[in-house]
Chain A
Amino acid sequence: MNKIMSDKKIIALYTLPALILLLILIYVPIVLTGYYGLMDWDGIGPMTFIGLDNYKALISDHLFWNSAYHSLLLAIFSVLSLIIYLAISLVLASQIKGADVFRKIYLIPMLLSSVAIAQLWMRIYHPSNGVMNRFLTSIGIENPPLWLSDTSLVLFAIFVPILWQYAGFYIIIYYAALRNIPNELVEAARIDGATPFQIAYKIKLPLISGVIKVTIVLAVIGSLKYFDLIYVMTDGGPNGASEVMASYMYKLAFRTNDFGYGSAIGFFLLILILLVTYLIRKLTTSREDNVQY
């Protein structure tokens, strides 16, 4: 039995195809990104080793910091929006009839491609024919905003579809976690006279803190690498007002053919994401993780 189930040849046969794909298409590229970051390279011609010059240039590149700042803002918005999703999930999980139907409806936008969502919302925001401004003019606002071409509004305008797209995703995660809380705990608190708000704050939230932590990591990482929707809706514009790290990297590499510099940004993004994941997990580890129920 053990002999057959530890046959080295079969183990190799079963794991190597997937492992080779993983190594060649994910692990080798992340190492190469760091390596290319040390080069002056247009993607086709010869590479010239320039040491840390790309990384030094990055530090003084205000366009890069501009995009990093926008990514950070998106991350903050996303984490704050978790509060809304959590509140909706608390309502949904409080033994309401039809909860199943609601959470499925909420999930629909999440299943659509970012390109379709971007194209749809571009029309919602259309200055004269979009739903948004036709509604605003119908209630008497004469000069409604231009949304996607207003440098001070564009990032908020982009965040609304993001909020809309991911609502269902986070709600079903929280909902599943909340439904796992044993009913006796909530009942006991209710008998002791706790209000629904107290039960949510003092009992339910601590019990799902592990899941909340995971969603914070997901929201921050998702925001740092956000790309598709912005690329289609505004292409980082107007005038860089919605540029994020991934879109800036894409532009440098595939439009200006600065592959070395683009790789440096790609590597920076990778390190940043690994670091942020580690830090959030470290910072949010608390006694509450050890709660047993």
Chain B
Amino acid sequence: MKEKLSETSDLNVSSAKKLPPSPKVAQSSLKHKLSHSVLYLILIIVGVIQILPLVWLFLFSLKDNQEVFNLPPLALPSSPKWENYLNVWTEGNIGVYFLNSVIVTGAAVILTVLLASFVTFAITRMHWKLNKFVLGLFMVGLMIPVHSTLIPLFSFYLNIGLMDHPLAIILTYTAFNLPLTIMILLGFYYTLPRELEEAAIMDGCTVHRMFFQIILPMTAPVVATTAIINMIYNWNEFVFVNTFISSDKYKTLTVGIQNFIGQYSTDWGAIGATLVISILPILIVFVLLSNRIVEGITSGSVKG
């Protein structure tokens, strides 16, 4: 197919070449080049706008207040104050918040991806009458605004004694991330060949072994994508932690830094360092796995 296309376009090119180059053609190619440069310029400007606030953040995280207020915003500090990072890490609870974020995010991601894989397997590969209905229940969940569930969830966790307990946020993250995770997994599961299961069953394989030893490893690429999307969501979540968690020892970074900054609202260097610490894990993951993230966001939203 591709070869055919290139053949026909070659034909067009060669027939165009036969004509003597007219000044009009030269003019239009100049115009083309010019418009191409303008387009590039637009893209670069947009790129600079997207990055510049973060560059500024990084720069002021290495300055003291005097440099922040007296030097031009994008000037480098005379000597980078790396001690800002050390200070906020040792003085505040940032280390505790950081660890909580890692635990809560990790637990919710594993739980979500595993439960979603089970459900998607049952819906797409197994035979039962209610599968479309159950899938529908999960898909409607995509539209439910978290704020409409906040008050009942608050009183629910209060009643069962999970208020101010990490389990409350882990379970909530899992429930609210299941619909999107299932949606992304779904497309991949539909493409798995049926013969796979037939052969496995012929060989006397049980469903559980089939799921864990054949299906789950085969879906590893899409599972990785959903895991990263889940991780970003959980790492950044604010409302649930802010509502369900009150003690410092259980707070995650998003809520913790919010309180910390409230106390140090005049020390810009400390605030900058705190913010950089909170966004660094996501930025590192992004640098390493940007293709998967782009893929996950694209497939997660377009189908919705």
Contacts and interface: CB of A to CB of B under 8 A. Distances in A.
Interface of A: 1-2, 4-8, 10-11, 14-15, 17-19, 21-22, 24-30, 32-33, 36, 43-44, 88, 91-92, 94, 96, 102-116, 119-121, 123-124, 129, 131, 134-135, 164, 167-169, 172-173, 176-177, 183-184, 187, 191, 211, 214-215, 218, 221, 224-225, 227-228, 231-232, 246, 249-250, 253-254, 259, 262-263, 266-267, 269-270, 273-274, 277
Given A29-B152, A134-B73, A172 B297 contact: yes
29 contacts: A19-B137, A21-B174, A22-B141, A22-B178, A26-B141, A102-B43, A106-B46, A106-B50, A111-B236, A113-B235, A113-B254, A116-B254, A120-B57, A131-B56, A134-B73, A173-B298, A176-B298, A214-B302, A218-B301, A221-B143, A221-B145, A225-B145, A228-B239, A232-B258, A254-B154, A259-B155, A266-B151, A270-B144, A273-B145
Contact of B302 (A114, A119, A164, A173): A173
Interface stretch (B19-27, B81-89, B286-294): B286-294
Given A25-B153, A129-B68, A266 B43 contact: no
A277 B297 CA distance: 20
Contacts of A103: 294
B201 interface: yes
A30 B304 CA distance: 21
Interface in B254-291: 254-255, 257-258, 261, 268, 271, 275, 278-279, 282-283, 286, 290
Nearest to A17: B115
A114 B257 CA distance: 12
B127 interface: yes
Given A1-B201, A32-B152, A254-B243, A113 B207 contact: no
A10 B39 CA distance: 56
B290 A104 contact: yes
A178 B291 CA distance: 18
Given A5-B207, A96-B39, A168-B50, 15 more contacts: A10-B126, A11-B126, A21-B115, A27-B137, A92-B43, A96-B43, A123-B60, A123-B268, A129-B69, A169-B297, A214-B302, A249-B147, A263-B151, A263-B152, A269-B148
Given A14-B121, A225-B146, A25 B172 contact: yes
A120 B53 contact: yes
A285 B47 CA distance: 34
A121 B275 CA distance: 12
Contact of B282 (A28, A88, A112, A232): A112
B150 interface: yes
Interface of B: 5, 9, 12, 36, 39-40, 42-43, 46-47, 49-51, 53-54, 56-57, 60, 68-69, 72-73, 115-116, 118-119, 121-123, 125-128, 134, 137-138, 141, 143-156, 158, 171-172, 174-176, 178-179, 197-198, 201-202, 206-208, 211, 232, 235-239, 243, 253-255, 257-258, 261, 268, 271, 275, 278-279, 282-283, 286, 290, 293-294, 297-298, 301-302, 304
B271 A119 contact: yes
A107 B51 CA distance: 10
B147 A246 contact: yes
Contact of B257 (A5, A28, A32, A116): A116
Given A6-B127, A96-B39, A273-B143, A176 B302 contact: yes
A91 B39 contact: yes
Interface centre among B73, B152, B255 (most CB of A within 10 A): B152
Contacts of B172: 25
Given A14-B118, A21-B178, A88-B43, A227 B149 contact: no
Contacts of A172: 294, 297-298
A270 to B, nearest CB: 4
Contacts of A191: 12
Contacts of A250: 147, 150, 239
B214 to A, nearest CB: 13
A21 B238 contact: no
A11 B134 CA distance: 12
A71 B191 CA distance: 41
Given A113-B235, A113-B279, A167 B46 contact: yes
Nearest to B156: A29
